[in-house]
A and B are shown apart, each in its own frame.
Chain A
Amino acid sequence: MSLQDCAIVGYAETKIVEKSSRDIWELSGEVLGSLIRGTGIEKGEIDGLILSSSMTSAGNVFWSQAVADQLALDVNFCQTVDIGGCSPLGTVARAAMAIDSGMCHNVLCLFADTQAAEDNRPRRPIRQEWTSAIGYLGPPTAFGFISKRYEHQYGLDYAALGKLAVTQRNHAILNDLAVEKLRKPITVDDYLNSRMIAEPIRLLDCVMVCDGASGVLVTSRRNAEAKGCTKAVVPLGYGERTHYRAAQSVFDITETGHLVAGQMAFRQSGTKLSDVGSFHPYDDFIIAILLQLEMLGFCQRGQGCAYIRETDFSHTGDLPLNTGGGQISAGQAGLAGGGTNLVEAVRQLFGEGGARQVANRKIAVVTGIGGIPYTRNFATSSVMVLTSNA
């Protein structure tokens, strides 16, 4: 099986900042240099480059070539993945496919975005007809709809959501690479009293757009052994679903593609939920974590708030959650933000979590959320099960 024959042998991450004074290529270079130093795999051995998309590269149809040029990478496989926030996680699956097919052997999966400093998206939104005309704010509005609907169907305990916000914030305080502005403790009351954006979405439900870069190096397990890589994380299972239930005009927006992506990933991995040592869900909004806990089966549909109340999500707790603070408390490095969740999972499995190291470093689960379609929830939902123990 191609996925499980591959290994992540290194990770790298820059400091996340509110607005970068360094160019996206400079950040990319820092990630490359760090990975080469950390893995012992030389630049000349990297023969594949897979990028996540970025707001900074928006409109550039030569992006992966341009980045390869800047980093002077001579490669047999080069592409950008464009499934929004699912792109970073998606690069690992695509790297495994490219390696399995024989196209390349050592793939740099690179996630960089400087959305805060340089957002090059076209000014005129493509959804001008159906969303801009009514004052749709984008993701906060969409999550407002999702939250209200969830509340209607199941009831919503906002203090339980606040508990997730507080837990992740405590983790960011332990993460030197998190954006400094957010490395301050908050309370559940701070969460509840934060100002409304798109009711019931509050300020402390939302990610803050930042700049930063991260990346992982993927190779075959055979090559990792031959190179003497002492640390390796193997992707055991992956599921990715785009436009779940696209052929339905009305559907339950409290159900996401993670339901099927999670089933695919866990079935392929041969692991159970009870094996999970840390959980690193894509977190653009706090309620997205609740939905994913339900979709993956950590609790029953509609029981997420009760589950949150009775579960300790701290790095020493029952189910360590986004132990670097997640994107909500470490800062969202634009479309590269999914790399923050992924890299933290790899760091934990390598046993390099430092002050926030989790006890069970055998299995970690990472997810992705990419894009928010009209009247629905997520364009792409993805789930990956990773192990340090293959």
Chain B
Amino acid sequence: MTKLNDTRNVERTPPAPLNHTKPFWEATRDKRLLLQYDPRNGKYQFFPRPVSIYDGKGDLEWREVSGEGVIFSYTIQVRARPPFQGHEPFALGIITLKEDVNIMANLVNCEREDLRIGLPVRLCWLPLSDGAHLPAFEPVR
């Protein structure tokens, strides 16, 4: 079994949100995952954008979601730049959430052999120095 680094000890620079991404990061302070929702088209989107990716209009809602999903794809980072340098190997995944959006995140609490496309995962949080949290995912056990 190849142990993968959870990257919990990486000193990440907290993101500097834009107006239209601020609600996302604010909610992470309470470990809540918010996605933009387009009520006209009945669809979610990620990452947060100034307009709906479906019809180009504004007036998007923020909705809290559970963070349940499956691995769409993944890659093991064997080389990294600072501040991740020295924390390799660690896993990055693209997760398809139940709401049908793809989100890129660290895959944690797993070993190399656990990982496969289609694996059910659930949301967990990595703390940031400014009180916000970074969404990450771990296998459902």
Contact = CB atoms under 8 A, between A and B. Distances in A.
B15 A253 contact: no
Interface in A197-213: 197-201
Contacts of A141: 75, 77, 92
Nearest to A153: B117
Contacts of B81: 137
Contact of A198 (B17, B78, B96): B78
A135 B47 contact: no
B44 interface: yes
Nearest to A200: B75
A143 to B, nearest CB: 8
Contacts of A195: 78
Nearest to A150: B73
A250 to B, nearest CB: 5
B136 to A, nearest CB: 8
B13 interface: yes
A199 B96 CA distance: 20
Interface in A260-302: none
A246 B79 CA distance: 30
Contact of A131 (B72, B104, B117): B104
Contact of A145 (B74, B96, B100, B105): B74
Given A134-B105, A374-B104, A196 B76 contact: yes
B15 A129 contact: yes
A79 B76 CA distance: 40
B96 A250 contact: yes
B125 interface: no
A339 B30 CA distance: 50
Contacts of B7: 134-135
A230 interface: no
A147 B53 CA distance: 26
A128 interface: yes
B104 A130 contact: yes
A247 interface: yes
Interface string A307-335: 00000000000000000000000000000
Nearest to A132: B13
A135 B73 contact: no
A249 B92 contact: no
B16 interface: yes
Contacts of A70: none
Contact of A148 (B10, B79, B117): B117
A249 B73 contact: no
Given A134-B104, A137-B80, A249 B75 contact: no
Given A145-B75, A196-B78, A129 B47 contact: yes
Contacts of B79: 137, 140, 196-198
Interface in A116-142: 128-137, 140-141
Interface in B43-59: 43-47, 53-54
Given A133-B134, A253-B73, A375 B84 contact: no
B73 A152 contact: yes
A144 interface: yes
A19 interface: no
Nearest to A254: B73
A249 B18 CA distance: 21
B92 A250 contact: no
A43 interface: no
Interface in A91-113: none
Contacts of A200: 75
B92 A136 contact: yes
Contacts of A196: 76, 78-79
Contacts of A231: none
A127 to B, nearest CB: 9
28 contacts: A128-B13, A129-B15, A129-B21, A131-B104, A133-B15, A134-B92, A134-B104, A136-B92, A137-B77, A137-B80, A137-B81, A144-B76, A144-B77, A144-B92, A148-B74, A148-B75, A148-B117, A149-B117, A152-B118, A198-B78, A199-B75, A199-B78, A247-B53, A249-B102, A250-B72, A374-B47, A375-B102, A375-B103
